[in-house]
Structure 1
Amino acid sequence: MYPAPQDIPLENPETTPQEHHLLDFLVDILETLILAVILFFIINTASARIKVDGSSMEPTLHNGEFILVSKVNYKFGEPRRGDVIVFDFPRNITQEYIKRVIGLPGEHIHVADGKIYVNDQLLSEAYINDAPRYQGDWDVPEDTLFVLGDNRNNSSDSHNWGMVPLDNVVGKAIFIYWPPPYWG
């Protein structure tokens, strides 16, 4: 014969209620820690947090601001003109730079009289304060980008050291998250 349902013990009789609550609490903590580690891994795979160092991107970005960078934007497409990107500096890949994409692969960049032309078309740049005081011509090879800082006359960028290989692009700057008055 089978025992009646009321005769089957539901809990270990050796476990006190306090021990049972402690065990539940420890399981909750373990589950929370595992979830936190998984979320941390996902967030760090998909994004980066970068501190702006210097004034080369003013007035768009300021020294000391922190930005969120999407690492997945360019897994499904390539940078577009006007995107603000973070990349590994071609001359020292341990340094990350942040600049604006001006020229795309196969394009010709011409800078003269304070204006920038892409394939002989004037580039409208409402995001800069001062026009560039330098001049030059650059052809953007395949698989590279021509980038400039928004503070045109106080920026180390493609007009000084050349193109950025697409493989060096870390991601697209998408959000200023610190300090709070500059969120967005």
Structure 2
Amino acid sequence: MKRSHLLREIVEILALALLIFLVVRLVVQSYHVDGDSMSPSLQSNQNVLVNKMAYLFRGPERGDVIVFHYPKEPNVDYIKRIIGVPGDTIRIDSEHVWVNDVQLNEPYIKEAINPYAKSWKVPADNYFVLGDNRPVSKDSRYWDFVPKEYIVGKAVLVYWPTDQWKFIDTYSNTFAPITTKQ
């Protein structure tokens, strides 16, 4: 009698552990930063926690740092900052970025440099993303937009290495003056 009771408890504990594991995997994901395209905000070899449910009830916003499937190679994931949302007009010159004719003051970038002057109109259900380390980042300047369905989630927390633990800043004040043109 005691043996069957113990076996039942072990099965219940294992089932509960599996359920908790599956729920956590549906809600959050770990992402390993590989490269310097998001420096100084994120460093190579940091691990970040990605909220996969962040956009369940609202869309991605300017300033959000997202993990997404690279549009040219969907089995590869990238991490970048959203600069433009659907309906926005993005314009760049060699040093500056404008969103809907508002020049961004970007405290998060390592160096203000762009390879050329160009403008884009962000289509519906797409996002314009840039890395914070512009000289080395391959981003929307080179391959245009990230479709909404390619977004894995919002990066919210650096958790490894533990001495670099921090919440990821979206710099909402930088993007506050921008009004959406739809």
Asked if TM exceeds 0.5, the reply is: yes
1:147 to 123, 129, 138: 129
Distance 2:112 2:49 in 1: 28
1:32 to 13, 16, 25: 13
Does 1:50 find its partner at 2:31?
yes
Q: Which moved more, 1:131-140 or 1:23-32?
A: 23-32
Distance 1:132 1:29 in 2: 59
Unaligned runs of 5+ in 2: 167-182
Matched residue type, 1:85? I
Counterpart of 1:4 in structure 2 is none
Matched residue type, 1:30? V
1:113 to partner: Cα distance: 4.0
Counterpart of 1:169 in structure 2 is 151
Counterpart of 2:90 in structure 1 is 109
Matched residue type, 1:27? R
Q: How many residues align?
A: 165
Instruction: Give the 5 Å matches for 1:75-154.
Output: 75-134=56-115, 135-154=117-136
Residues 34-79 of structure 1, C-alpha deviation per residue, up to 9 Å, x if partnerless? 1110001100111111111111011111111111101101111110
Counterpart of 1:6 in structure 2 is none
Matched residue type, 2:33? V
Matched residue type, 2:80? K
Distance 2:39 2:31 in 1: 16
Counterpart of 2:172 in structure 1 is none
Distance 2:159 2:91 in 1: 35
Residues 72-122 of structure 1, C-alpha deviation per residue, up to 9 Å, x if partnerless? 011111100000001111111101111000011111111124111001101
TM-score of the aligned structures, taking structure 2 as reference length:
0.86
1:23 to partner: Cα distance: 3.9
Counterpart of 1:179 in structure 2 is 161
The structure that has the greater radius of gyration is: 1
RMSD, matched Cα: 1.2
1:156 to 133, 138, 141: 138
Q: Percent identity among equivalent residues?
A: 42
